[in-house]
C-alpha cells in the first residue's frame, strides 16, 4: 500500500533546501540523526540487525510513519555478517566474540596498525602496506595476506612474485576475503532496500554515505588516537605525509559518492576537539584536510553534513570559512547561541540537543528544551532540529514530545 501524507517528500526537500540556503521555511525541519534507535521498540536486537540489515525494514516503517522526518539517516552501524566472516578484531559488536550483550552497541577499539618505524613504508607504497599489513592485522582470517606480493611488475620478477599466491595461507586468506565480499554485498543491497523504503514513505535520504577527513582516517584506522597527537610533536612532517596519502583515499570516497548521485555526504569529526589539540594545531594539521573535503563536495554539488563530536567552542570561527549556504554543521557540545551568532550567516546548524534528554528526561522537560533551542536557533532560518549525537536509544514518550514540540513551536 502506498503511504499517503500531506507532508510529501517534495515539501520536505524544499523545507531543508530553504534552511540550507539560510532562509526561513514553513517550519523548522525535524531530522534526528539515527543509528540503531529505529530498533528500540521493534523487538529486533542490535545483534540481529547487524547480521542482517533487512531486519531494519519493519522498524524503519514504524518509525518513519510515526515521525515524518525531513531527512532520513540510514542506520549507522557496522555489518557483523562481514566481520564474522573475516574474524574482525578491531571492532567489538553485540553478539560477537567479546561478549557484548545482544542489544548493546558496537565499539571501535583504538588499535595501532602502523608503528612509529613504519611511516616511510606506508608512505612509499600505501596499497601494499594496507593489503599486507593492515588487512591481515584487522581481520584474523586474513593473516595469510602478509605473504602475498602485489607490487612487483618488473620483467621476470612480476611472474615470479605470483608464486606467492600458491602459498596455502595466502589462498586460505583469499577465500575468506571472497566470503567477506559476498557478505558485504548482502549488506549493501539490504541498506539500499532500506533507503528505497524510506523514499516510499516520503522521507528524503540524507546520510547514506560518508567518511572522515584524512587526519581522522589516519588516526582512526592506522596509527591510533593515542599516538598521532604525540607524533605531531616528535615527527610532524611524517604525519603530514601520511595524511596526504590518506587524503587520496578520501578523494576516492568523494568521487564514488558523486557517482552514486547523493545529495549529502556525512563527515564525522573525531580528533579535532577542543581537548585534543590547540587552535593553532587545528588550523595547521586538521582544518586543511576538512576544508579540502568541503570544497570537493561543493564542487560536486553535494552538501557536506559535518558532525563535530566533542567540544568545539574554539573552532567556530574557523568553521565559518566556507561558502555561504553550502554546509550543514551538527554540534555535539557547543555554546549553540554563539555558534548561531558566528555561523548563522554562513552555514546551516543543528544538533546540541542532548540525547540524555530523550532517554532520561520528562515530556515537559523535553518540550521546554525544544522551545529554548528554537528561540535561540530558529530565527532567520538556517537551523535543523537534531540531537547532539547519533541516536541509539530513546523513550517513545520523550521522542513524541520532541517531535510534537518542534512541529508546534517551530512554525515561522
Cα distance between residue 333 and residue 310, in whole Å: 6
The residue written with cell numbers 549553540 in the block is 336
β-pair partners for 92: 107
Cα distance between residue 220 and residue 366, in whole Å: 34
Residues 58-105 pLDDT 10s: 999 999 999 999 999 999 889 999 999 999 999 999 999 999 999 999
Residues 318-354 pLDDT 10s: 999 999 999 999 999 999 999 999 999 999 999 999 8
Which of the 8 DSSP states describes residue 73? P
What whole-number percentage of the chain has pLDDT above 70?
100
pLDDT classification of 303: cutoffs 50, 70, 90:
very high
The pLDDT value given to residue 1: 55
pLDDT classification of 298: cutoffs 50, 70, 90:
very high
For residue 91, how many other CB atoms are within 10 A of its CB? 16
Residues 190-204 pLDDT 10s: 999 999 999 999 999
Q: What is the mean pLDDT of residues 257-270?
A: 97
Cβ-defined contacts of 126-129 (< 8 Å, 24+): 126/245, 126/248, 127/151
Nearest to 390 by CA among 105, 189, 187: 105
Helices (runs of H) and strands (runs of E) counted in the chain = 19, 7
Nearest to 108 by CA among 30, 217, 262: 217
Cα distance between residue 136 and residue 172, in whole Å: 12
Q: Which residues contact residue 345 at a Cβ distance below 8 angstroms, ignoring those fewer than 6 apart?
A: 22, 324
Q: Is the pLDDT of residue 2 over 80?
A: no
Q: Which residues contact residue 76 at a Cβ distance below 8 angstroms, ignoring those fewer than 6 apart?
A: 33, 34, 35, 36, 207, 390
Cα distance between residue 304 and residue 394, in whole Å: 27
Q: Tell me if 85 sits within 8 A of 176, measured CB to CB.
A: yes
pLDDT classification of 174: cutoffs 50, 70, 90:
very high
pLDDT averaged over every residue in the chain: 96
β-pair partners for 329: 306, 349
Which of the 8 DSSP states describes residue 6? S
Q: Which residues contact residue 339 at a Cβ distance below 8 angstroms, ignoring those fewer than 6 apart?
A: 316, 329, 331, 349, 352
β-pair partners for 383: 349
Cα distance between residue 277 and residue 290, in whole Å: 15
Report all structural domains of the chain as residue ranges with CATH numbers, in order of start.
207-352 (3.20.20.210)
Nearest to 146 by CA among 163, 161, 128: 128
Amino acid at each position: 500500500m502506498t503511504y499517503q501524507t500531506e507532508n510529501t517528500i517534495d515539501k520536505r526537500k524544499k523545507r531543508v533546501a530553504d534552511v540550507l540556503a539560510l532562509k526561513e521555511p514553513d517550519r523548522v525541519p525535524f531530522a534526528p540523526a539515527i543509528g540503531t534507535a529505529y530498533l528500540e521498540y521493534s523487538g529486533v536486537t542490535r545483534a540481529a540487525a547487524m547480521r542482517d540489515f533487512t531486519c531494519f525494514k519493519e522498524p524503519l516503517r514504524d518509525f518513519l510513519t510515526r515521525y515524518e522526518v525531513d531527512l532520513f539517516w540510514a542506520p549507522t552501524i557496522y555489518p557483523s555478517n562481514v566481520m564474522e566472516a573475516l574474524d574482525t578484531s578491531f571492532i567489538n559488536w553485540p553478539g560477537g566474540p567479546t561478549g557484548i550483550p545482544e542489544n548493546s552497541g558496537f565499539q571501535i577499539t583504538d588499535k595501532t596498525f602502523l608503528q612509529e618505524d613504519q611511516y616511510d613504508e606506508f608512505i612509499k607504497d600505501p596499497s601494499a602496506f594496507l593489503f599486507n599489513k593492515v588487512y591481515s592485522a584487522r581481520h584474523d582470517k586474513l593473516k595469510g595476506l602478509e605473504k602475498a606480493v602485489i607490487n612487483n611488475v618488473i620483467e621476470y620478477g612480476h611472474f615470479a612474485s605470483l608464486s606467492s599466491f600458491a602459498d596455502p595461507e595466502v589462498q586460505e586468506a583469499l577465500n575468506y576475503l571472497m566470503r567477506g565480499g559476498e557478505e558485504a554485498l548482502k549488506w549493501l543491497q539490504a541498506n539500499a532496500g532500506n533507503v528505497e523504503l524510506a523514499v516510499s514513505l516520503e522521507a528524503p535520504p540524507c546520510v547514506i554515505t560518508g567518511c572522515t577527513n584524512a587526519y581522522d582516517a589516519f588516526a582512526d584506522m592506522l596509527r591510533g588516537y593515542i599516538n598521532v597527537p604525540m607524533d605531531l610533536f616528535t615527527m610532524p612532517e611524517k604525519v603530514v605525509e601520511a595524511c596526504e596519502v590518506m587524503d587520496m583515499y578520501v578523494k576516492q570516497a568523494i568521487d564514488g559518492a558523486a557517482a552514486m548521485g547523493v545529495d549529502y555526504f556525512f563527515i564525522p569529526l573525531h580528533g579535532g576537539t577542543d581537548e585534543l589539540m590547540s587552535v593553532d594545531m587545528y588550523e595547521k594539521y586538521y582544518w586543511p584536510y576538512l576544508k579540502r573535503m568541503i570544497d570537493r563536495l561543493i564542487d560536486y554539488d553535494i552538501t557536506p553534513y559535518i558532525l563535530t563530536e566533542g567540544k568545539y567552542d574554539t573552532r567556530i570561527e574557523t568553521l565559518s570559512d566556507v561558502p555561504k549556504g553550502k554546509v550543514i554543521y551538527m554540534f555535539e557540545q557547543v555554546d549553540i547561541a554563539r555558534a548561531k551568532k558566528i555561523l548563522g550567516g554562513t552555514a546551516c546548524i543543528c544538533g546540541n540537543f542532548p540525547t540524555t534528554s530523550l532517554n532520561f528526561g520528562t515530556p515537559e522537560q523535553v518540550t521546554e528544551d525544544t522551545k529554548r533551542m528554537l528561540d535561540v536557533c530558529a530565527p532567520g532560518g538556517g537551523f535543523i532540529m537534531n540531537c547532539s549525537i547519533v541516536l541509539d536509544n530513546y523513550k517513545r514518550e520523550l521522542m513524541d514530545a520532541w517531535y510534537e514540540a518542534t512541529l508546534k513551536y517551530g512554525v515561522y
